[in-house]
Amino acid sequence: PLPHMMTAGAQEKALAKGRTSSNPSPPEDSYSLAGESSYMFTFLMWFMFVAHAGCMIYALTADWSLTEILVLQTPSDPTCPTGGDWDSSLSVCRMEMFTSTYETNVKQFWESDAKSTACLMVFAGLIQPILKALFYIVIYHVPLTQSRREQMIGHQEALAKFTISTFWIQAMLLTCFTVKFGLDSDTIHVNVEGDVKITVYAGLVVFLTTQILSIVVVSMLRLTHDAVWQKRVGPARAALEAQGKPRTSSQRWTLGSLGVLSLVGFAIVWNYSFVHFKYEGLLTQDGLFYSNNPLKTSLHDLAVGSYLSDPIPIDNYNYFCFYVNLVIVPIMVTLLGIASAATPDRMHGTRHGIAKAVQLLHPYSVPETLFISIVIFAPDVLTVSEWIFGGQFPCNEVAKHGGNCLIVKCVLAGWGAFGLLTWALSLFMVQQLTVMWK
């Protein structure tokens, strides 16, 4: 029928059909990213896949750390307690406690009745990395529709970083067990000091590198997916999709408020300790070593205290990873979220660019993984410390069996723990909403 003979509803349907025909949606056909990429880029992706798998295998089988007790006695006496060896170069008795690997850590947690921590390490340190490696190959090589691949990459961007939880547990172990003790002077008439020393080995460093490498692979898949999709639909369609939808004032206020709340939470957790490690003593055959002050751990303390005994190259690498993933990137994501909230709808290109930047950055922002690790690990510190240093005996029975026992309790600190929770949740919401409301 002619336009003047059509009803208003029919005219609107015709106009909608015309708009659709002028900008038709591409068919939801399946395609593989490998089939749309050059041979050189496919070789690079497979190199990353193999490197990720190889590093993961090495990290899960290599030694992570060595825990020792160094006993310094004044005046010097080369006679060491049971299980100790005299180190003439340092004039100390060196008592090796254990060498940890991923497997022994999980076993120790499980057998010491810290089963929640053991389950987290199994899932985040073994099951999830294997699933990630398989998903990466599927995303790149298996023909999928655009929407399905978008969902799979989005899930990996949000969840892949949680494998770092295993590393935070080990970092907290390094923090709470690296401590100096003095021997009760009433027990013997000499001055004795004990130093629990933990030396980090390559296995733990490679484990952290593996998790970061997996996030880099996710970023490469995201960039490849977006580039291939833009090539398939054309620049006009890509520009139309970049315009997004107008946001309501409540959405802008919500995003901006969450960004400010994230900065407040970060300021709290940087300056206030979020966990306290309380030491009741290191029990040996010679008496009770004691520590006068509890160890209070803020975000900065965790960065500094965990790696003081490491060689300088490892020290610098750990500092770099720590500050990039727990300080620099989270602050960048927060500021970008606030900028997105302040960007008017008419500047849709700027808003879309901010959302893309957050989409690429937020897999490297990991405060929520630290929060989950602390909540699960904190209640298990006491049982773990008793089991590791007590030779599987209760601490009050250790001296009878000729062993050693370190008694450590971990409690969440008020303002610091609240700040960590606020920071982790608000930052996660900023990441998701900035991309969702682009």
Half-sphere exposure of 414 (CA within 13 A, CB side): 0
Q: Is the pLDDT of residue 313 over 50?
A: no
Q: Is the pLDDT of residue 159 over 80?
A: yes
Tell me the average pLDDT of the chain.
76
Could you give the angle at which helices 348-361 and 414-436 cross, rounded to 10 degrees?
A: 130
Q: Whole-angstrom Cα distance, residue 310 to residue 164?
A: 20
* Long-range contacts of residues 352-359, Cβ cutoff 8 Å, at least 24 apart: 352/242, 352/243, 352/244, 352/438, 354/434, 354/438, 355/434, 355/435, 355/438, 356/226, 356/438, 358/333, 358/430, 358/431, 358/434, 358/435, 359/157, 359/222, 359/435
Q: Whole-angstrom Cα distance, residue 225 to residue 386?
A: 50
Q: Is the pLDDT of residue 302 over 50?
A: yes
Q: How large is the average pLDDT for residues 24-47?
A: 82
What share of the chain in percent tops pLDDT 70?
A: 67
Contact between residue 66 and residue 201 where contact means Cβ atoms under 8 Å apart: yes
DSSP 8-class letter at 324? I
**Coil, strand or helix: which one is 96?**
strand
Predicted pLDDT of residue 8: 44
Q: Whole-angstrom Cα distance, residue 178 to residue 168?
A: 15
**Highest mean pLDDT (candidates 97-101, 237-241, 303-307):** 97-101
Q: Whole-angstrom Cα distance, residue 150 to residue 221?
A: 10
How distant is the alpha carbon of residue 351 from its chain centre?
28
Query: What are residue 409's DSSP bridge partners?
Result: 278
At 219, the pLDDT band (50, 70, 90 cuts) reads: very high
Residue bearing the bigger pLDDT, 438 or 432: 432
Phi first, then psi, for residue 244 (nearest 5°) are 65, -165
- Residue 330: asked if its preceding bond is cis (omega within 30°), the reply is no
Q: Which helix (H) or strand (E) holds 317?
A: helix 312-323
Predicted pLDDT of residue 22: 44
Predicted pLDDT of residue 68: 79
Kindly report, residue by residue over 320-355, the tens digit of the pLDDT: 777 888 888 999 999 999 999 998 878 878 888 898
As a whole number of Å, the end-to-end CA separation of the chain is: 40
Of 19-23, 155-159, 222-226, least confident by mean pLDDT is 19-23
At 142, the pLDDT band (50, 70, 90 cuts) reads: very high
CA–CA distance from 309 to each of 367, 377, 423 (Å)?
25, 23, 30
Predicted pLDDT of residue 16: 46
Q: How large is the average pLDDT for residues 88-110?
A: 78
Q: How large is the average pLDDT for residues 376-394?
A: 65
Q: Which helix (H) or strand (E) holds 203?
A: helix 202-233
Which among 125, 313, 331 is positioned nearest to 208, based on CA atoms?
125
3-state helix, strand, coil in the chain (%, to 5): 65, 15, 20
Residue bearing the bigger pLDDT, 309 or 208: 208
pTM of the model: 0.78
**Highest mean pLDDT (candidates 50-64, 166-180, 315-329, 382-396):** 50-64
Contact between residue 268 and residue 332 where contact means Cβ atoms under 8 Å apart: no
Residue bearing the bigger pLDDT, 233 or 61: 61
Predicted pLDDT of residue 416: 82
Structure tokens at 214: 């997996």
Kindly report, residue by residue over 179-195, the tens digit of the pLDDT: 666 655 454 455 566 67
Predicted pLDDT of residue 116: 87
Of 70-74, 255-259, 432-436, least confident by mean pLDDT is 70-74
Q: Whole-angstrom Cα distance, residue 402 to residue 425?
A: 47
Predicted pLDDT of residue 1: 45
Predicted pLDDT of residue 139: 94
Contacts for 345 with CB less than 8 Å, ≥ 6 apart: 246, 247, 351
At 224, the pLDDT band (50, 70, 90 cuts) reads: very high
H helices, E strands: number in the chain? 18, 9
Q: How large is the average pLDDT for residues 203-228?
A: 90
